[in-house]
């Protein structure tokens, strides 16, 4: 698939099933992520791969730490990682740098997530970038082995879509773009 086609036509898929990308394909996807722009070449990102039974353990981490208010909500948290065969957790581990504030390090990690989501699309799979309460919970971060000061930028759910990609939304360029000077 050509690069412009992948960039312009990627869509998110909320329900993803097996197969996930193969190990070789996953290497390509991660290589695309690692080519994100990165001020100061700080490499502030870390990517945690969760699949198989790891997803059940992730559901248990969510249920134990996100204070569900009902059995139904607890069940939802337990099952939420099962919505895809592979989850890539993208985390920023901030580095001290006189010219690179934390927001730029989050931007670099976010660019890596987007590079990966486009690569996933180009390989014929799909993904959805999710955050929610789980991304902002210190307890979840620590249960996954990160520090409270790290930032979960996204859970990228990856797999094969269960229905055809939804149509690409119409974007009118003039609604978002103007010229100056």
Chain residues that interact with ligand FMN, rule: CB under 6 A: 11-12, 128-132, 154
CB 130 → ligand FMN: shortest distance, Å? 4
With respect to ligand FMN, which residue has the nearer C-beta, 12 or 42? 12
CB 20 → ligand FMN: shortest distance, Å? 18
Q: What are phi and psi of 147, to 5 degrees?
A: -90, 160
**How far is residue 167's CA from residue 16's CA, in Å, rounded to a whole number?**
17
Whether 144 contacts 61, CB under 8 Å: yes
CB 107 → ligand FMN: shortest distance, Å? 11
CB 15 → ligand FMN: shortest distance, Å? 11
Q: Which residue bears the tokens 């992948």?
A: 6
Comparing C-alpha atoms, which of 27, 19, 8, 33 is closest to residue 161? 19
Q: If DSSP codes are grouped into helix, strand and coil, which group holds residue 158?
A: strand
With respect to ligand FMN, which residue has the nearer C-beta, 94 or 129? 129
**How far is residue 87's CA from residue 48's CA, in Å, rounded to a whole number?**
8
With respect to ligand FMN, which residue has the nearer C-beta, 3 or 41? 3
With respect to ligand FMN, which residue has the nearer C-beta, 12 or 64? 12
């Amino acid at each position: 698939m050509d690069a412009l086609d992948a960039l312009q036509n990627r869509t998110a898929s909320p329900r993803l099933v097996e197969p996930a990308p193969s190990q070789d394909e996953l290497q390509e996807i991660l290589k695309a992520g690692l080519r994100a722009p990165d001020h100061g070449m700080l490499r502030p990102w870390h990517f945690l791969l969760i699949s198989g039974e790891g997803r059940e353990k992730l559901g248990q981490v969510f249920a134990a730490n996100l204070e569900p208010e009902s059995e139904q909500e607890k069940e939802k948290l337990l099952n939420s990682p099962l919505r895809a065969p592979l989850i890539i957790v993208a985390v920023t581990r901030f580095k001290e740098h006189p010219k690179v504030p934390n927001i730029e390090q989050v931007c670099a990690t976010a660019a890596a997530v987007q590079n990966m989501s486009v690569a996933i699309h180009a390989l014929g799979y799909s993904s959805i970038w999710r955050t929610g309460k789980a991304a902002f919970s210190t307890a979840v971060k620590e249960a996954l082995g990160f520090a409270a000061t790290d930032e979960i930028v996204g859970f990228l759910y990856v797999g094969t879509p269960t229905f055809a990609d939804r149509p690409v939304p119409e974007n009118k360029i003039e609604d978002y773009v103007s010229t100056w000077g």
